[in-house]
Amino acid sequence: MSEASDAPVLQAAGLRKEFGKLVAVDDVSFDLPPGRSLAIVGESGSGKTTIARMIVGLERPTGGTITACGHDRSRPARSTRDRRRRGREVQIVFQDPYTSLDPRQTAEATIDEVLRLHHGWRADRRQARTAQLIDLVGLDTRQARALPRSLSGGQRQRVAIARALAAQPAILILDESVAALDVSIQAQVLNLLADIRDETHVSYILISHDLAVVRQLTDEAIVLHRGKVVERGRTARVLDHPEHPYTQRLRASVPRPGWKPRRRRQPGAGEENGVS
């Protein structure tokens, strides 16, 4: 992937998604410059997961456009070949390490399957590349040959990352990918993600409700509330000087040393209604 152009590697314009009468995503637009990382911040019902699913083609936008690597992907792929090509542009790592791997496949087999999908390589070349990817995500050969049930949550998530990277995507969507991990493991995986970004120059889109993780991993951020973008800007600015009341409330709700919870003046009002 050449970095000569400054053209964004992913562009969303006027994205809209309706589920019946419910508007889950309302006029959302953002750009992802190459090699940069963008956070989509929100709580349940904000539409952030729906946006991620629309980008990778698991949901069809009701309106608006998505362009990745110069190709439009606002409509579902026409052919399997097209879907595979899109898979080489954008990949995703899901939140739950316990269901995002086929329980009957070893890590090696999982990665190998993806390599076979995208390349017509011989077995030895695939093996070498698999070993490279296993190493890149910090696993050893014994873990590579293990079934998911023998692996911890953090290790499974590494396998999921390796699987996504096997397609050599330009963009990797991390859909709350560290939210289900223990704090000490989360730190390891966040460091790993930073290392991978340095080594492969992949661009991240981090979907998260955890502002500290967002701060650690991303340069730019957009804040979603009930399907709309309420704030956007450099991550540091959005978190240090939030302008929108919702962002301010979000920031004030994050536990940190010395934090004390406060009741809002209108208890019960403004409850989020989740979109499942």
Site for another protein in 175-214 (CB under 8 A): 182-188, 190-191, 194, 209-213
- Minimal distance in Å, beta carbon 16 to another protein? 21
- Minimal distance in Å, beta carbon 114 to another protein? 5
The 49-68 contact track toward another protein, x by CB under 8 A, reads: -------xxx----------
- Minimal distance in Å, beta carbon 7 to another protein? 23
Strands (E), the chain: 10-19, 22-32, 37-41, 63-68, 71-72, 90-93, 171-175, 203-208, 220-225, 228-234
- Minimal distance in Å, beta carbon 4 to another protein? 27
If one asks whether residue 236 binds another protein (CB under 8 A), the answer comes out as: yes
If one asks whether residue 138 binds another protein (CB under 8 A), the answer comes out as: no
If one asks whether residue 86 binds another protein (CB under 8 A), the answer comes out as: yes
Q: Which stretch binds another protein (CB under 8 A): 10-18, 25-33, 125-133, 142-150?
A: 142-150
If one asks whether residue 242 binds another protein (CB under 8 A), the answer comes out as: no
* DSSP per position, 157-184: HHHHHHHHHTT--SEEEEESTTTTS-HH
In angstroms, the CA 43 to CA 240 distance is 19
In angstroms, the CA 151 to CA 135 distance is 16
Residue from the set 145, 201, 234, 241 that interacts with another protein by CB under 8 A: 145
If one asks whether residue 7 binds another protein (CB under 8 A), the answer comes out as: no
Residue 3 or residue 182: which is nearer to another protein going by CB? 182
Residue 23 or residue 77: which is nearer to another protein going by CB? 77
At residue 249, what are phi and psi to the nearest 5 degrees? -65, -40
If one asks whether residue 216 binds another protein (CB under 8 A), the answer comes out as: yes
- Minimal distance in Å, beta carbon 181 to another protein? 9
Coil, helix or strand at residue 39? strand
How many residues are recorded in the chain? 276
Q: Are 111 and 134 in contact (CB under 8 A)?
A: yes
Residue with structure tokens 């890149």?
Answer: 136
Q: Which of residues 104-133 bind another protein (CB under 8 A)?
A: 104, 106, 113-114, 117-118
- The three-state DSSP-derived secondary structure of 2-27 is CCCCCCCCEEEEEEEEEECCEEEEEE
The 8-27 contact track toward another protein, x by CB under 8 A, reads: --------------------
Q: Are 215 and 182 in contact (CB under 8 A)?
A: no
- Minimal distance in Å, beta carbon 26 to another protein? 19
In angstroms, the CA 33 to CA 10 distance is 7
